[in-house]
Chains A and B, each alone.
Chain A
Amino acid sequence: MGRDLRMVRFSEIAPVEAGLEFQRTVAEQVTNQTATPLLVAWRCHPALLVSGSETRLPEFDKASAALDAAGWPVFVRRSGGAACPVGPGTLQVAMIEPASPNATMTAEYARLAEMIRTTLACFGVAAQIGCVPAAFCPGRFDVAVEGKKIAGLSQHWFRNRRGVRCLIVAASLNLEEPPDLLSRLVNQFYRIAGSPLGCEATALTNLILSAGATFGAGQDLAEAVVARFRDAARCDLSFPVKPGKSASPAQA
């Protein structure tokens, strides 16, 4: 499977809505004849991704305004899950493919989670897959280092305009966003929104903290991770995605 994955990515840090739109643009090009899943990577400006259920919290609008004022605007994502902060220090990775009749939620989660685990191993980081209950947006396919969440996954199944059932399995991998900043944002959002939910900074980590001295000063961490991701997926880099109006994908 792995050697048929193809990879495209943004060349620059983009607004989060452009990143999500980029994923949709790629998904629109998926056909039933597409034999190869596509792996998409991008980074974005600070934002808090929430799902539709969060928009029904009693003070959602007030919480959104507060986060917006703090420089972390709130965006609703189509996949499920709870609040998830993303920013320049996180890498968004999505696996996009036609949903075959044999595709299962569990198997597709496991596939991307394993890819992340393999990528982290390239940096000397031993990761495990399993829920980190005290983290934000806990899920069974959290990727954790010593019990601390470093990446989370979500899914979105839909039909594209060609009528093809597509599946986007998305992950947010924390490269260098500080855990205490992320937990403070998530807790602020839920507190104002009127929800008892929250998370603990001690349940979070990032790649810099986990890998210690592996990185030299000035090294572009995201580039290094994408390169390792490419290896993990054994990507063919020739995917001919056409740039969309709001998305300017650059081939890796």
Chain B
Amino acid sequence: MGITLTLAQYFIDHEIAYRLVPHPHTETARASAAASGLPADRVVKGVVLKTHHGFILALLPASRHLRLDTLRQLLGDDVDIANEEQVEPLFADCEPGSVPGLGAPYGLEIVVDDSLATQPDLYLEGGDHIDLVHLKGASFRKLTENGRHGRFSDALEST
């Protein structure tokens, strides 16, 4: 089971209890939700955005997709989705392609979709493709309260 030292240390620092939920190897947050038998609206998807001022991590449910135009209005900046080569060095102790569901441990500002605000439990990527990190929704909200918040997602169509 996996969680990076960076995230584990961050949880220790903030006295946050968590639990690892193993699942078969997946490549996306939505697939992780399905593989874990969890509702996708409780699994946090991280999307790295590039702005003129650096990188920002957008956090939204795996059941939704990001509305870039809304985010551009919200952030008041020229925002685009970062590419793989830009993302990987930001999370140096994570497996390639894994984007953790918290920004502060990696020195990143965050913007959090409002649809995560009411979930009682949330599941984040912890740095690999075979585990999710289970947190109480209240813990997640405490850890992300200093970030920007807004509604910038739409529901994905069911597959």
Q: Is B106 an interface residue (CB 8 A)?
A: yes
Known interface pairs A51-B6, A138-B12, A197-B13; A106-B1 also in contact (CB < 8 Å)? yes
Chain B 101-135 near chain A by CB (<8 Å), digits 1 or 0:
00001110000000000000000000111100000
Chain A residues near B13 (CB, 8 Å)? 195-197
Q: Find out whether the CB atom of A154 lies under 8 angstroms from the CB atom of B95.
A: no
Known interface pairs A104-B95, A157-B95; A81-B129 also in contact (CB < 8 Å)? no
Known interface pairs A56-B107, A79-B93, A82-B9; A106-B88 also in contact (CB < 8 Å)? no
Chain B residues near A56 (CB, 8 Å)? 107
Q: Find out whether the CB atom of B8 lies under 8 angstroms from the CB atom of A140.
A: yes
* A155 to B: closest C-beta gap in Å: 5
Chain B 73-110 near chain A by CB (<8 Å), digits 1 or 0:
00000000000010011001111100000000111000
**Please, how many angstroms separate the alpha-carbon atoms of A140 and B88 in the complex?**
23
Report which A residues bind B (CB closer than 8 A): 51-53, 56, 78-82, 99, 103-106, 133, 137-140, 154-159, 165, 195-197
Task: Given A104-B128, A105-B127, A106-B130, output 6 extra A-B contacts at Cβ < 8 Å.
Answer: A51-B5, A52-B106, A53-B6, A137-B5, A155-B93, A157-B96
5 nearest A-B residue pairs (beta carbon): A80-B6, A80-B93, A80-B5, A81-B5, A105-B2
**Please, how many angstroms separate the alpha-carbon atoms of A82 and B95 in the complex?**
19
**Please, how many angstroms separate the alpha-carbon atoms of A103 and B128 in the complex?**
10
Q: Find out whether the CB atom of A139 lies under 8 angstroms from the CB atom of B5.
A: yes
Q: Find out whether the CB atom of B5 lies under 8 angstroms from the CB atom of A154.
A: yes
**Please, how many angstroms separate the alpha-carbon atoms of A158 and B8 in the complex?**
20
**Please, how many angstroms separate the alpha-carbon atoms of A172 and B1 in the complex?**
22
Chain A minimum-CB-distance residue to B9 = A82
Known interface pairs A56-B107, A104-B128, A197-B13; A156-B93 also in contact (CB < 8 Å)? yes
Chain A residues near B2 (CB, 8 Å)? 104-106
Q: Find out whether the CB atom of B92 lies under 8 angstroms from the CB atom of A80.
A: yes
List 27 contacting pairs A-B, 8 Å CB cutoff, sorted by A. A53-B9, A53-B105, A79-B92, A80-B4, A80-B5, A80-B7, A81-B5, A82-B5, A99-B95, A104-B2, A104-B128, A105-B4, A105-B128, A106-B2, A106-B128, A137-B9, A138-B9, A139-B8, A154-B5, A155-B5, A157-B92, A157-B94, A157-B95, A157-B96, A158-B89, A158-B92, A195-B13
Chain A residues near B85 (CB, 8 Å)? 159
Chain A minimum-CB-distance residue to B15 = A196
Chain B residues near A165 (CB, 8 Å)? 96
**Please, how many angstroms separate the alpha-carbon atoms of A155 and B93 in the complex?**
5
Q: Find out whether the CB atom of A99 lies under 8 angstroms from the CB atom of B93.
A: no
* B31 to A: closest C-beta gap in Å: 16
Chain A residues near B96 (CB, 8 Å)? 99, 157, 165
**Please, how many angstroms separate the alpha-carbon atoms of A133 and B12 in the complex?**
9
* B18 to A: closest C-beta gap in Å: 12
Chain B residues near A158 (CB, 8 Å)? 88-89, 92
**Please, how many angstroms separate the alpha-carbon atoms of A157 and B100 in the complex?**
14
**Please, how many angstroms separate the alpha-carbon atoms of A95 and B47 in the complex?**
30
* A184 to B: closest C-beta gap in Å: 20
Chain B minimum-CB-distance residue to A163 = B85
**Please, how many angstroms separate the alpha-carbon atoms of A137 and B96 in the complex?**
23
Among A105, A137, A157, which residue has the most Cβ atoms of chain B within 10 A? A105
**Please, how many angstroms separate the alpha-carbon atoms of A78 and B94 in the complex?**
11
**Please, how many angstroms separate the alpha-carbon atoms of A139 and B1 in the complex?**
12
Chain A residues near B127 (CB, 8 Å)? 105
**Please, how many angstroms separate the alpha-carbon atoms of A110 and B95 in the complex?**
15
**Please, how many angstroms separate the alpha-carbon atoms of A18 and B40 in the complex?**
46
Chain B residues near A195 (CB, 8 Å)? 13
